[in-house]
């Protein structure tokens, strides 16, 4: 849900690695990210006959970012793709906080999944939820969201040749009692729509007769749990919605509304630069958003939320609505599958650098449901050297190395990223620099120690290239942070935010809709009809 | 739900009777319509002191067309208005068939009721449903849609000085078994949204594995009951949605979809000119919409609908979705109230020409929940003559008559409508014509017989002036019928339809949204994401 990861994911998928014959994906994990790519051709490109007679069936679970990237990148007509997901659309999730308050309409951020993907790849979709993966029989077991009334059949199974798991994650409640039952989450479009209705409901309820001031205040007390970018953006959106639009229609509620943000850490937006954190905290304080830092939620019931300070003191606050936004957890189907394959104690599916789920054949996982155990260059340095040193002379030329460079970059994407991050045009620069540092002569021959020295830093490279991150703070102000310690806060960043988000839409339709929603909001404000 | 009545109602309310100190309303009843207006000032304008010390409280039940017209017309700051309705918005209902297929978005046709009404009139809104009216204690009893969790209180009562009932009507099921439980209606915005989701669900369900062809066909069999403008428009919209958009995304479903329209009468669109009926029936036949005329539904269960032909033969058809659109019935709260006031055997509340509910004090009713028993000029002709004949001479001058004309037109709106329909500028023309027809001399004196003769036709005037009616037939073709036997069918009428509907929006916001929805549909088609 980190706004800018979108930009990164897509731009990386399409610009940095335009090789479309690969299953190319970018996956993010909380607190950082990884990018890797994999090639499914390998295993059966040597079986030309079968390829021609029967298409291999790729079953893709999910219609989120990872699944959409996969579909957009797969350009090989020898596969047929069967997508299975309970949602028949892709949603531009970074705009969900905007949907909660009607700044953008729900329908403007969704695109039917059948419209995503390339024309030459046969693709079909099943609106169903996978509840079990059986790697033995190469089947997934699914059930339709809606009861199929005929014959009472709901569950069915689907065979696969290759399985791509991109089911994403779910909100993490940390098993805190009452959270599941009483809080709103902000993962799906339906969540955002429900939040919007609940906000309006709260104002309507608080306008009814027969209530005392305390009850009205409780109904209009909106609590946000989690000071990450999503929670902060939602709090800011809600503040704008209330102050720009709702107080005009519900003037009596003006002095009763309160927004509180609870954060367990000492600051909000901790993954951002300190200047942004400081600006955001000061702005929220000016806006009257009550920031309760160092507050760990311990219990929620239908009217009150209890939080413990670091000193151990528990305070209980009455609330009207809670939005819970504290990060992601594992979906049950993935948990179950991890148990089956001996990864039961993990948080996400472990894959190798080809995104193959470890311990499974022909199963790939990507996105929020997976983490990549990337192979290290330095561990394989002897093999790499051997491959380049074709004549087994104990030394290799730069030219030798260039010849195997493509394979190495495929397998160890950190090499390529490292070169880019250092502003080098190719491996030659790296080898030359290493030779220069080691005081070697200008010979084009390297031994294994020189190669080790040249590549010693590449494994430290975070493969997920951080292009930047936004945190909208309300009042047409956004904080933005880009690599190289560049921080921008204010109205200009808001316009940058508008441009980036408009440009990153998956279709022209959604782009036009999102931009026209923004224009509509500028002119007419947000709608508060309870539909 | 007759498209064009909107145009009529609003244009009549604002142009024909711009007298804004009156509670001016236009009400339509099925199969025709009536228009009347009433003045609530009368009873207490002579009590200037009280007016200044306490505002009179007008409770308005409803937020539909009648209620919105009332709010827009009420321009007297000596009243405070308390609006009570389960919906906090006004909906432009003639566009609901468009909402069912995403041609127009739900939010584009709604406007918060708090935005409607004049600034100088104090207005507040309660989101609640009135379930009982007590004219004795001058109270209405209401309950909130949502359970108020605090103290378990849900119901409350509201006092009124004047009560204006504009709750509208509900769909009429004719008590046919299974209709209520299994059919979709098309009265509210939520109905339209639910239909849209159900259409998409049907296509998704029919795409799931493990179904035979018969089951898939059943799921994709859409039945419309009722061949009035709403049913016809929905069938046409659905046909366009399926053929323009859905078959591209669900190509396998193309040959399985069927739309059937059941109509009890021998033709559809019976209230239109025969040329329109013929054109519509032929177009539907070309489009493959199965018209079953003379089919009276007798029973509906969860999978089948049974209809009886005029010959008495009952046939049962499996269906996936039914939309029921056969006219309007009385809401329970109105039924109950009619029983209380001795109107129990009626279909709608009877009012006098001032819209006062007969047998009640200070209670007014308008819109689909009411019918007007209009006073006849000819029954009161002696009193009218007496009023004009101030000197009791047995004759009156045209000037005498002109002096009381304002009062007469207030009480007998048919007079004004009659003059307009005959292209007369005023009563002078009418009187002169009567004298000429009777061979009287050019004297300006009339006796009572001459007055009778002049006014003998006014009571025949249908007060509801029919400005025309549209019936969209799909494929960018609309049938339109206007007074004077003018019928227009085709693309040009579709453009007229667009213009009229755009111009009749209640706010600039909805106008811009509706027009941009149409443009979006032209360019990108309709969205089929299941949200």
The minimum CA-CA distance between B512 and chain A, rounded to whole Å, is 8
Of B204, B215, B512, the CB nearest to A127: B204
Give the residue from chain A lying closest to B148, CA to CA.
A205
Q: What value does the mean pLDDT take over residues A517-521?
A: 93
Looking at residue A415, what is its pLDDT? 84
Q: By CA distance, what is A114's nearest residue in B?
A: B249
Residues in chain A closer than 8 A to B209 (CB atoms)? 126, 156, 158
Asked whether the predicted pLDDT for residue A272 surpasses 60, the reply is yes
Chain A hits for B527, CB-CB cut-off 8 Å, are 107, 110, 112, 509
Among residues A359, A323, A350, A29, the alpha carbon closest in space to that of A168 is found at A29
Across the interface, of B110, B153, B513, the residue whose CB is closest to A520 is B513
Half-sphere exposure of A110 (CA within 13 A, CB side): 23
Q: Do B112 and A524 touch (CB under 8 A)?
A: no
B107 with A529: Cβ contact below 8 A: yes
Say yes or no for a CB contact (<8 Å) between A205 and B89: no
Q: Is the CB of residue A234 less than 8 Å from the CB of residue A259?
A: no
Name the least confident of A427-436, A505-514, B398-407: A427-436
List of chain A residues whose C-beta atoms are within 8 Å of the C-beta of residue B513: 520
Give the ipTM.
Answer: 0.83
Q: What is the pLDDT, as a whole number, of residue A441?
A: 58
Instruction: Considering only the beta carbons, identify the residue of B89, B209, B531 that sits closest to A89.
Output: B531
Asked if B512's CB is within 8 angstroms of A523's CB, the reply is: yes
> CA-nearest residue of chain B to A143?
B208
For testing the chain B interface, which of A115, A150, A250, A302 should be mutated: the one with the most B CBs within 10 Å? A150
A110 and B529 in contact (C-beta within 8 Å)?
yes
For residue B364, the model assigns a pLDDT of 96
Is A126's CB within 8 Å of B209's CB? yes
Nearest CA in chain B to A106: B531
Nearest CA in chain A to B126: A208
pLDDT by residue (tens digit) across A160-201? Answer: 999 999 999 999 999 999 999 999 999 999 999 999 999 999
The pLDDT tens digits for A273-289 are 999 999 999 999 999 99
Q: A149 vs B302: CB contact, 8 Å cut-off?
A: yes
B501's tokens: 């509907």
Chain A residue whose CA is closest to B84: A208
User: Does the distance separating the beta carbons of A513 and B208 come in below 8 Å?
Assistant: no
Residues of A in contact with B250 (CB under 8 A): 114
Interface touch A208/B144, C-beta < 8 Å:
yes
By C-alpha distance, the chain A residue nearest B194 is: A531
> Which of B114, B204, B209 minimises the CB distance to A249?
B114
Mutation target for A interface from B88, B201, B523: give the one with most A CBs within 10 A.
B88
In 3D space, the residue among B49, B51, B68, B48 whose CA is nearest the CA of residue B60 turns out to be B68
Mutate to test the interface with B, among A113, A125, A155, A530 (most CBs of B within 10 A): A530
> Do residue B509 and residue A528 have CB atoms under 8 angstroms apart?
no
Contact B249 A190 (CB under 8 A): no
Query: Nearest residue of A to residue B150 by CA position?
Result: A215
How far A110 CA sits from the closest chain B CA (Å)? 7
For residue B144, the chain A residues in CB contact (below 8 A) are 204-205, 208
Contact in structure between B476 and B487 (CB atoms under 8 Å): no
Helices marked H in B250-289 — which ranges? 274-287
Nearest to A137 by CA among A457, A292, A361: A361
Q: Check if the beta carbon of residue B204 is closer than 8 Å to that of residue B405.
A: no
The strand pair at B56-61 and A139-144 is best described as unpaired
With both helix axes pointing from N to C terminus, report the angle between B229-240 and B274-287 in degrees, rounded to the nearest 10. Answer: 30
Residues from chain B contacting residue A190 (CB–CB below 8 Å): 531
**Contact yes or no for A149 and B193 at CB 8 A:** no
Within 8 A of A208 by CB-CB distance, chain B residues are 126-128, 144, 148, 156
Q: Which helix (H) or strand (E) element contains residue B482? A: strand B477-482
Q: Do B88 and A200 touch (CB under 8 A)?
A: yes
The minimum CA-CA distance between B127 and chain A, rounded to whole Å, is 6
d(CA B181, CA B198): 15
Residue with tokens 């509900």: B170
Distance in angstroms (rounded) separating the CA atoms of residues A21 and A18: 9
Rounded-to-integer distance, Cα B287 and Cα B387, Å: 63
A102, A205, A303: residue with CB nearest B144: A205
Q: 10 Å Cβ neighbour count for A359?
A: 12
For residues A309 and A293, what is the distance between their CA atoms, to the nearest angstrom? 8
The reported pLDDT for the residue numbered A7 is 30
Over residues A8-28, the mean pLDDT reads 34
pLDDT for the residue numbered A422: 79
The alpha carbon of B458 is separated from its chain's Cα centroid by a whole number of angstroms, namely 25
DSSP run (H or E) holding A510: helix A508-524
Inter-chain touch B211–A144, beta carbons under 8 Å: no
Q: Could you tell me the pLDDT band of residue A158, with boundaries at 50, 70 and 90? A: very high
Candidates A88, A190, A204; nearest CB to B88: A204
Contact A88 B200 (CB under 8 A): yes
φ, ψ for residue A194 (rounded to 5)? -65, -40
Chain A nearest-CA distance from B411, in A, is 37
Q: What percent of chain A has pLDDT over 90?
A: 64
Query: Which stretches in chain B have pLDDT values below 70?
Result: 1-53, 147-153, 438-444, 462, 464-465
**Do the Cβ atoms of A430 and A415 come closer than 8 Å?**
no
Residues of B in contact with A110 (CB under 8 A): 527, 529, 531
Whether the CB-CB separation of B97 and B239 falls below 8 Å is answered with no
| Single pTM value for the model | 0.84
- Contact between residue B407 and residue B380 where contact means Cβ atoms under 8 Å apart: no
* pLDDT for the residue numbered A462: 62
Q: How many CB pairs under 8 A join A and B?
A: 140
From A457's Cα to the closest Cα of chain B, the distance in A is 47
Longest dimension (CA), chain B: 92
Q: pLDDT, tens digit, for every residue of B178-229?
A: 999 999 999 999 999 999 999 999 999 999 998 999 999 999 999 999 999 9
Would you give the DSSP letter of residue B4?
H
User: Strand B477-482 to strand B486-490: parallel, antiparallel, or no bridges (unpaired)?
Assistant: antiparallel
Q: What confidence score (pLDDT) does residue A439 get?
A: 67
Contacts of A302 in chain B (CB under 8 A): 149
pLDDT value, residue A386: 87
Q: Which residue has the higher pLDDT, B322 or A397?
A: B322
What is the C-alpha to C-alpha distance for residues B151 and A210, in angstroms, rounded to an integer?
Answer: 11
Min Cα distance B353 → chain A (Å) is: 34
> What average pLDDT does chain A have?
85
Residue B290 contacts residue B217 (beta carbons within 8 Å) = no
Q: Which residues pair with A34 in a beta bridge?
A: A27
Å from A22 to nearest chain B CA?
26
Asked whether the beta carbons of residue B520 and residue A530 sit closer than 8 angstroms, the reply is no
Which pLDDT value is given to residue A34?
Answer: 29
Q: How far apart are the CA of A147 and the nearest CA of chain B, in angstroms?
A: 9
Q: What does the pLDDT average to over A127-142? A: 96
Query: Among A47-56, A166-175, A249-258, A302-311, which is the least confidently predicted range?
Result: A47-56
Q: Chain A closest CA to B118's CA: distance in Å?
A: 13
User: Which residues from chain A sit within 8 angstroms of residue B189, using beta carbons?
Assistant: 531
């Amino acid at each position: 849900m980190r706004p800018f990861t979108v930009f990164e994911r897509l731009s990386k998928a399409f610009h940095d690695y335009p090789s479309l014959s690969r299953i190319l994906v970018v996956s993010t994990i909380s607190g950082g990210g990884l990018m890797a790519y994999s090639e499914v051709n390998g295993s059966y490109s040597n079986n030309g006959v079968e390829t021609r007679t029967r298409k291999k069936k790729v079953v893709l679970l999910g219609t989120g970012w990872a699944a959409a990237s996969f579909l957009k990148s797969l350009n090989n007509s020898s596969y047929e793709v069967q997508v299975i997901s309970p949602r028949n659309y892709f949603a531009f999730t970074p705009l969900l906080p905007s949907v909660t308050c009607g700044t953008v309409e729900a329908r403007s951020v969704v695109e039917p999944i059948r419209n995503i993907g390339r024309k030459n790849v046969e693709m079909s979709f099943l609106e169903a939820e996978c509840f079990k993966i059986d790697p033995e029989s190469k089947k997934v077991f699914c059930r339709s969201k809606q009861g199929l009334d005929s014959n009472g059949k709901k569950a069915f199974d689907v065979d696969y040749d290759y399985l791509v798991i991109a089911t994403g994650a779910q909100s993490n409640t940390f098993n805190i009692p009452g959270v599941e039952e009483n809080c709103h989450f902000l993962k799906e479009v339906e969540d955002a729509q429900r939040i919007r209705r609940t906000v309006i409901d709260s104002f309507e309820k608080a306008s009814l007769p027969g209530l005392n001031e305390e009850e009205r205040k409780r109904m209009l007390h909106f609590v946000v749990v989690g000071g990450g970018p999503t929670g902060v953006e939602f709090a800011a959106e809600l503040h704008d919605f209330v102050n720009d639009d709702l107080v005009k229609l519900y003037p009596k509620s003006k002095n009763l509304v309160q927004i509180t943000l609870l954060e367990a850490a000492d600051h909000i937006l901790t993954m951002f630069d300190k200047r942004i954190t400081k600006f955001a905290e000061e702005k929220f304080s000016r806006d009257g958003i009550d920031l309760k830092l160092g507050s760990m939620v311990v219990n929620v019931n239908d009217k009150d939320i209890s939080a413990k300070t670091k000193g151990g003191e528990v305070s209980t606050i009455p609330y009207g609505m809670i939005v819970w936004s504290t990060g992601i957890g594992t979906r049950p189907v993935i948990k179950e599958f991890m148990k089956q394959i001996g990864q039961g104690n993990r948080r996400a599916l472990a894959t190798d650098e080809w995104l193959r789920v470890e311990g499974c054949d022909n199963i790939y996982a990507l996105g929020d449901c997976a983490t990549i155990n990337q192979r290290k260059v330095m561990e394989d340095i002897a093999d790499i050297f051997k491959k380049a040193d074709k004549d087994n002379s104990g030394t290799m030329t730069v030219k030798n190395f260039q010849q195997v460079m493509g394979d190495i970059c495929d397998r160890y994407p950190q090499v390529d990223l490292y070169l880019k991050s250092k502003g080098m045009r190719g491996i030659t620069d790296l080898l030359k620099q290493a030779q220069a540092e080691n005081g070697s002569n200008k010979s084009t021959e390297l031994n294994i120690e020189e190669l080790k020295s040249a590549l010693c830093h590449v494994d430290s490279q975070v493969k997920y290239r951080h292009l930047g991150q936004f945190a909208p703070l309300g009042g047409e102000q956004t904080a933005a942070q880009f690599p190289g310690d560049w921080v921008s806060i204010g109205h200009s960043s808001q316009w940058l935010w508008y441009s980036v988000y408009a440009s990153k839409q998956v279709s022209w339709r959604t782009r036009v809709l999102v931009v026209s929603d923004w224009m509509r909001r500028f002119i007419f404000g947000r709608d508060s009809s309870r539909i």
